Amino acid sequence: MGSPNRLVLGWQINGNFEFDPNAVSEVEVRFIPEGKGITRIELEHRYPERFGETAASLRGALDSPEGWGTSLTRFAQLVER
């Protein structure tokens, strides 16, 4: 059995960044080996339209400079240590 290369999570936080059990999207994180000691990380957040009227604000927040990109940068900094 090979090493795990992906993680899929249910996301139940609405556009106001509050728990919402009635709206679920998916976050998939893939870890792709690129060479010795190098791994590319891809993140896909699927089905944000399920959040109805808060979908646009959620997408804007996650695509903002403090959104998923910053989270991945911080993760990279931690694992490089």
Torsion of CA 9, 60, 67, 18, to 10 degrees: -60
Given a cut of 80, is residue 28 above it in pLDDT? yes
Q: For residue 60, name the pLDDT band (cuts at 50, 70, 90).
A: confident
Q: Would you say residue 74 has pLDDT above 80?
A: yes
1 in any annotated domain: no
Number of structural domains in the chain: 1
In a domain, 28, yes or no: yes
* In-domain check, residue 73: yes
Q: How far is CA 63 from CA 32, 44, 77, in A?
A: 22, 11, 20
For residue 1, pLDDT over 70 is answered with no
